[in-house]
Amino acid sequence: MQADPDTPLMPKATAVWLVDNTSLTFEQIAAFCRLHPLEVGAIADGDAAQGIKGADPIQTGQLTRQEIEKAEADPAYRLKLSKPKTIVPELKRKGPRYTPVSKRQDRPNAILWLLRHHPEMKESAIIRLVGTTKTTIHAIRDRTHWNSANLQPVDPVTLGLCSQIDLDREVDVAAREAGITQPTVIPGLGEQPDALMPVEESLDAQEEDDHRRSNERYDPEAVFSGLQAWKKGERHHDEDDDD
């Protein structure tokens, strides 16, 4: 997939840097990074993009200092991405990503994060990102995974299972195929498929969902019934990695 020529290579990481190092408005940063202004606000408040290191767009040649200063002087001005001086060929990877043994225990948490924050993403994309199997994805989605009660959604980039570039690429592809023009999830505001929900309604929905999850009971038989299938799928994937 070719990257959008009007979008920086690492939108969230670039937004983190711009928030920390410039006086640009949230709207200016959101327009440049193709994010929602509320998501940029969440980054500024520390509620989003935690663990993501800021990427200097000046150092990477995507912006000039003069362009940033021009935008800082005029809040209505929109930053323009600098034209690349070189073209880097895209690296194509065959098969699922290899995951080091030390990080394999983190995969279920990353899968849960992807399923919750990017439900439009296909299973094949999740497999490419974290190197898992369809059996494991189904078990986590259906809450029949043997460790479902202890899973916590964690960004795969934070866990070191994939790069921010790879994640942004897969999210962009999934959004285009699903016809989504805005971020699927705004941190703290729930899912946003087409338009923004009023803040009060979205916070109430989030509180109701958290309450439901806290009172949810797990059926031990249903959980452990998928254990053998999960182990079989993991062994099959690990054998493929060894080959």
- What is the per-residue pLDDT across 204-242, written as a single tens digit (0 to 9) for each? 666 666 666 655 555 566 556 666 666 666 665 555 555
- Residue 62 tokens read as 């995507």
User: How much is the pLDDT for 242?
Assistant: 53
User: 200 falls in which pLDDT band (50, 70, 90)?
Assistant: low
Residue 3 has pLDDT above 80, yes or no: no
Cβ(173)–Cβ(1) below 8 Å:
yes
Counting Cβ atoms within 10 Å, is residue 13 exposed (0-12), middle (13-18) or buried (19+)?
Answer: buried
Average pLDDT over residues 9-14: 87
Average pLDDT over residues 133-153: 91
Beta bridge partners of 185: 191
Domain boundaries of the chain, sorted by first residue: 11-73, 101-242
User: 77 falls in which pLDDT band (50, 70, 90)?
Assistant: very high
What is this structure's pTM?
0.39
Residue 174 has pLDDT above 60, yes or no: yes
User: How much is the pLDDT for 29?
Assistant: 93
- Residue 238 tokens read as 């690990």
User: 186 falls in which pLDDT band (50, 70, 90)?
Assistant: very low
User: How much is the pLDDT for 84?
Assistant: 63
Residue 87 has pLDDT above 80, yes or no: no
Instruction: Note the pLDDT tens digit of each residue in 16-29.
Output: 999 999 999 999 99
Residue 103 has pLDDT above 60, yes or no: no
Q: What is the mean pLDDT of the chain?
A: 76
Beta strands in 6-49 (DSSP E): none
Instruction: Note the pLDDT tens digit of each residue in 59-75.
Output: 888 899 999 999 999 99
Q: How many Å apart are CA 24 and CA 29, to the nearest integer?
A: 7
User: 1 falls in which pLDDT band (50, 70, 90)?
Assistant: very low
User: How much is the pLDDT for 192?
Assistant: 47
User: 112 falls in which pLDDT band (50, 70, 90)?
Assistant: very high
**Residue 35 CB-half CA count within 13 A:** 31
